[in-house]
A and B are shown apart, each in its own frame.
Chain A
Amino acid sequence: MNVFRILGDVSHLLAMILLLLKIWRSKCCTGISGKSQILFALVFTTRYLDLFTNFVSLYNTVMKVIFLLCAYLTVYMIYGKFRKTFDSENDTFRLEFLLVPITGLSFLENYSFTPLEILWTFSIYLESVAILPQLFMISKTGEAETITTHYLFFLGLYRALYLANWIWRYHTENFYDQIAVVSGVVQTIFYCDFFYLYVTKVLKGKKLSLP
């Protein structure tokens, strides 16, 4: 464990809590892509199947359970409790365009052809594109609530910190996880234009509205 990974996990947890608080307090999920949240729940489900078969540490187990609970609670709030405020007409990204190629790729490019390993690989590839429906929705509506931009900032920051963690682990323990690193780079690149808008607009107190 290193400081980059801890900060990354905290940033990830903070993002999920920010989103949950936003929906819970405003009792509204307008502007939030339910499809992205479904993809995140799928990412955690396929990645954390080893929760019961492979104990790594108390921290690892507790965080996995919290991440799973947050993901499913968020999906429940969007499609269940506050479904009347969910603007599905703006959440139109075709998930099959992501799921089909990623499923194929996880069968082709993995470390070992076992169910657990293929599901883990699927979750890594899926996570790198899971935010696309949300970014697509923002580009379609042309704006995002400030709290939503903070959510996206910490969500993008978490994987950027994981990149620093992998650089650190490569130099200190010669650890190299090519699938996770390549996917992590792709995932962080998708956030770059958002990061630019966040720094130049939101941090200056303006509302995030796309040109």
Chain B
Amino acid sequence: EGPGEGKDEL
């Protein structure tokens, strides 16, 4: 799980 753009969870 990389930085920024991978963050799709609340």
Contacts and interface: CB of A to CB of B under 8 A. Distances in A.
Interface of A: 5, 9, 12, 50, 54, 56-57, 60, 63-64, 67, 111-112, 114, 116-117, 120, 162, 165, 175-180
The dominant DSSP class at the B interface is loop
A111 B3 contact: yes
A65 B8 CA distance: 15
The dominant DSSP class at the A interface is helix
B3 A180 contact: no
Contacts of A120: 7
Interface residues of B, number: 10
24 contacts: A5-B9, A9-B10, A12-B10, A50-B4, A54-B4, A54-B7, A56-B7, A57-B8, A63-B10, A64-B10, A67-B10, A111-B2, A111-B3, A112-B3, A114-B4, A116-B3, A117-B3, A162-B9, A165-B9, A175-B1, A176-B1, A177-B6, A177-B9, A179-B1
B3 to A, nearest CB: 4
A56 B8 contact: yes
